[in-house]
Structure 1
Amino acid sequence: MSFPQPDITPLSAPYWDGLKQGKLLFQQCRACGNRWLPARDACPNCLKREAEWVESAGRGRIVSWVVYHVSYNDAFKDRVPYDVTLVELDEGPRLLSNIVNGDAGRKLSLHAPVALQIEHEGDLALARFKLV
């Protein structure tokens, strides 16, 4: 089975295009300075529609994680066990990802520093992270 594809919309396209170009982008409000992921058409803080895309330095820390030992999608059956990790970027936005050198969650710890590692699943570029 092929890897599940995201629903790429005009709103989220800059995020996905950035990953293809080797950059992790997040949105920032020009009015209040709030930063966020995933893409939204209005700031979740002040509700103004003044977002711009900003490049992340690609560093962050682990906030939480879960390890899957059962595959709920056939595309992942050969990957179990695997982690799904909440990463908080140094700039503030949070995103769900995987830790590529986390030994299926056994090496993960709260607040562990991580660095961006863009990986490809077919034509899709994904923001994954590695422990540093």
Structure 2
Amino acid sequence: MLTPVVDDDGAPFWEYAAQGELRIQSCADCGELRFPPRPCCPLCRSFATEWRRVAGRGRIWSYVLPHPPLLPEYAEQSPYNVVLVELADAPRIRLVGNLVSEPGARLNSVPAERIRIGARVQVVFTDTGLPQWALERP
């Protein structure tokens, strides 16, 4: 499996994720949430940052089912999904991930016909701290 490229601005995101927490960078001066992480607030231009914990609930805003040719690491799990999730408590923030049946499940563990735009999801984490998404249970 591919691993994320971690830079100085995004390192805290991955450190919190490794602890099972979803946190989003925010401006310590005006409170504006921003993702992806970056050094300066796009609203007030402040360099003061903090990491705000979010509930990790959202809805599928969009999704795709990649088709071959694929990277070798992913070809054996094809077909699989990639979802774009709009966070419930930060609706301007959208995170990319995979919809899985449970934490650490294979990328193809949710049948494509079960994926719907607008479906409610909850963040789950792999053993290595990679955020993924699972359908909320009614």
TM range (shorter): 0.7 to 0.9
Work out the percentage of aligned pairs sharing the same amino acid: 33
Is the partner of 2:43 in helix, strand or coil? Answer: coil
CA distance in 2, matches of 1:32, 1:105: 41
Structure 1 residues without counterparts, runs of 5 or longer: none
Confirm whether residue 116 of structure 1 aligns to residue 123 of structure 2: yes
Matched, 1:106 2:113: yes
Find the counterpart in structure 1 of residue 106 from structure 2: none
Offset of residue 32 of structure 1: 2.7
Matched, 1:125 2:125: no
Distance 2:21 2:51 in 1: 11
Cα distance in 2 between the residues matched to 1:111 and 1:47: 33
Normalised by the length of structure 2, the TM-score is: 0.83
2:95 aligned partner = 95
Deviation at 1:95, TM superposition (A): 0.7
Q: Secondary structure at the match of 2:47?
A: coil
Equivalent residues, number = 127
Q: How many Å separate the matches in 1 of 2:86 and 2:14?
A: 19
Residue 78, structure 1, aligned to residue 76, structure 2: yes
Could you say which residue in structure 2 is the equivalent of 1:61?
A: 59
Structure 2 stretches lacking a partner, 5+ long? 102-108
Question: What residue identity is the alignment partner of 1:113?
Answer: R
